[in-house]
A and B are shown apart, each in its own frame.
Chain A
Amino acid sequence: MSLTDLTIARARDGLRAKEFSAVDLTMAHLHAIEALNPRLNAFITVSHARAVDQARAADAALAAGGQRALTGIPLAIKDLFCTEGVRTTAGSKILGPFVPPYESTVTANLLRDGAVFLGKANLDEFAMGSSNMTSAYGPVENPWKRKQDDTAVLVPGGSSGGSAAAVSARLAMGATGTDTGGSIRQPASFCGLVGVKPTYGRCSRWGVVAFASSLDHPGPFARTVRDSAILLGSMAGHDPKDSTSANIAVPDFEAACARGVKGLRIGVPKEYRSEGMPAEIDALWQQGLDWLRAAGAEIVDVSLPHTKHGLATYYIVAPAEASSNLARYDGVRFGAREGGEDLRDLYERTRAEGFGPEVRRRILIGTYVLSAGYYDAYYLKAQKIRALILKDFTDAFAGVDALLTPTTPSAAFAQGENMDDPIKMYLNDLFTVPANLAGVPAASVPVGLDANGLPLGLQVIGKPFDEETVFAVSAALEQAAGFSALPAIRAGG
């Protein structure tokens, strides 16, 4: 087995047993990136020299018996996390020249635990998108291919498309992502990975380029549930620099994976069974419920009555917060600048030149819904519906331990599809957005393939700060599904 095929858990044991060195492991991934990144475009920046230095430091720590949770494990970092001394673009032209003078809390936590950073992963511009097509640094190719048509170039999903493609193609053992409306879970589903959006407040947002602050959730990608639990364990924790960071102890997520589901009550929200749902997704959902029942869980019907209004609510709240957060990109203190006749002209030209069409669209929508005379009709109304959506979850969780739903309404689509109408693209997040609005933890687990041979995921949603049950249910699904299919494009493939 090649080093790039190992799980994080297995690599951790191999490093400890001196079967291979951290430099060997990092070099194997850097070679894979060299071979495949020109095609996949999963990384915007590859930090080769820095990764080798970090791997050498990991080997020194291992030799001294100082192994930590991720010592020597090579990861991809979504290019939305500020990394000290390494360019951070947010997928936008406007941050093209930006080199952060500080490290985000989540990446600092990973470095503290010995991780090696291979580079910065591609993403939709400012994390606004579901296909990675809005990146100013070009689209990302999904390593999976339709079996009847291997010429079609598929999207990896988004916004964390580069992170998902990198882990799927074995260019990295794991990755960080952020999830504002589905940006970890949807690409995880499209690329056959595990993706976890923890509870709001579990991972610090400090140093993560802000999109919609009340909806942004950092979280991990990995190829197994256990690996994602290991990563989240390092990423999470209270941070006084983020006023919404929760001062709650981080439990042993890895241990929770082995808990099993015996005696758990799993809710099936009837509102997720939409009219146009493809039969194979519905069948896989039923299969998932059967697996959990066979493993000792009780399946219970529940209702989340406001589900269908989640997406429209999101498309008021998220652009409103984005229009405010992105006001800082003015060409004065950092980032790109377009010259102007006066200060106002400088702002307007800088922002017209620096933002792509989707970002501009969302800033304009956000500005409108917050503007005088429209605030109550749009923004206040959306905040009230958001309260109803949270209440739906609170009511449902009074009777169940977790919920099971499909992650996405379809498998990965081709580059160029769903681009003619913004709303078509937005509909990708139909099943994932409610968990962001309510702040509850949710994971996507790969469980099967569609008729084209493309991966499909199921979503496990848990109670606030009960990621442990999410991991337990996800691990049970993973074990029952025995998902072993591999993407067409991968290192050593």
Chain B
Amino acid sequence: MSLDHATIRRIASLARIRVEEHEVENLCQELNGILGWIEQLNEVDVTGVEPLTGAANMAMAMRADIVTDGGYPEKILANAPERIGDFFAVPKVVE
């Protein structure tokens, strides 16, 4: 499976990272190099193997569904690049 320029543009768009036209060819080569190296996994037979999702097959802990934190908008907004009142501000989305 080899990536072409259109696929690079598509995954960059999915990842919301702007890629300039002159960067596409270089990225294409780098990512194909890595994916080509990963192809070695094709030689492993995984028939009947259950996937492992975490570092260990541990049961997830349950917790009470109650509010334990919050109520300090100033702390939350202190790092906002832009705010209006108690809201995060972004460019206009709806006309």
Residue pairs across A and B with Cβ atoms less than 8 A apart, 8 shown, are: A214-B53, A243-B63, A327-B16, A343-B93, A361-B34, A368-B35, A377-B1, A387-B51
Proximity bits, B25-59, A CB within 8 Å = 1, else 0: 00100110111011011001010011111111010
Inter-chain contact A380/B80, CB cutoff 8 Å: no
Contact A309:B16 (CB < 8 A) given known A200-B56, A334-B79:
no
Q: Within 8 Å of chain B (Cβ to Cβ): is A97?
A: yes
Tell me the smallest distance from the CB of A310 to a CB of chain B, in Å. 11
B90 near A: Cβ within 8 Å? yes
Q: Is B17 an interface residue (CB 8 A)?
A: yes
Q: How far is the CB of A170 from chain B (nearest CB, A)?
A: 34
Tally chain B residues at the interface, Cβ within 8 Å: 50
- Known contacts: A244-B58, A306-B44. The answer to whether A333 contacts B80 by CB under 8 A is yes
Is A99 an interface position by the 8 A CB rule?
yes
Chain A neighbourhood of B35, CB < 8 A:
365, 368
Contact B33 A332 (CB under 8 A): no
B residues contacting A by CB (< 8 A) are 1, 3, 7-8, 11-19, 27, 30-31, 33-35, 37-38, 40-41, 44, 46, 49-56, 58, 60-61, 63, 72, 75-76, 78-82, 88, 90-93
Q: Residues of A at under 8 Å CB distance from B? A: 97-99, 101, 200-201, 214-215, 240, 243-247, 306, 309, 312-313, 315-316, 323, 327, 330-337, 340-349, 351-352, 355, 360-361, 363-365, 367-368, 371, 374, 377-378, 380-388, 390, 421-423, 436-439, 464
A316 near B38 with CB under 8 A, answer yes
Among B14, B33, B78, the one with the most A-chain Cβ atoms within 10 Å of its Cβ is: B14
- When the two chains form the complex, which single residue of B15, B51, B55 contacts A364, counting CB atoms closer than 8 Å? B15
Q: Determine the distance from Cα of A439 to Cα of B57 in the docked complex, in whole angstroms.
A: 10
B42 to chain A, nearest CB (A): 9
Chain A residues with CB under 8 A of B88: 332-333
Q: A386 near B52 (CB under 8 angstroms)? A: yes
Say whether B54 contacts A332, CB under 8 Å: no
**CB-based contact A343/B91 at 8 Å:** yes
**Nearest Cβ distance between residue A248 and chain B, in whole angstroms?**
10
Closest to B7 in A: A368
With a cutoff of 8 Å between Cβ atoms, the chain B residues found around residue A374 in the complex are 1
Known: A335-B81, A390-B56, A437-B55. 5 other contacts (CB 8 A): A101-B79, A246-B58, A332-B88, A377-B1, A423-B37
A309 adjacent to B40 (CB under 8 Å): yes
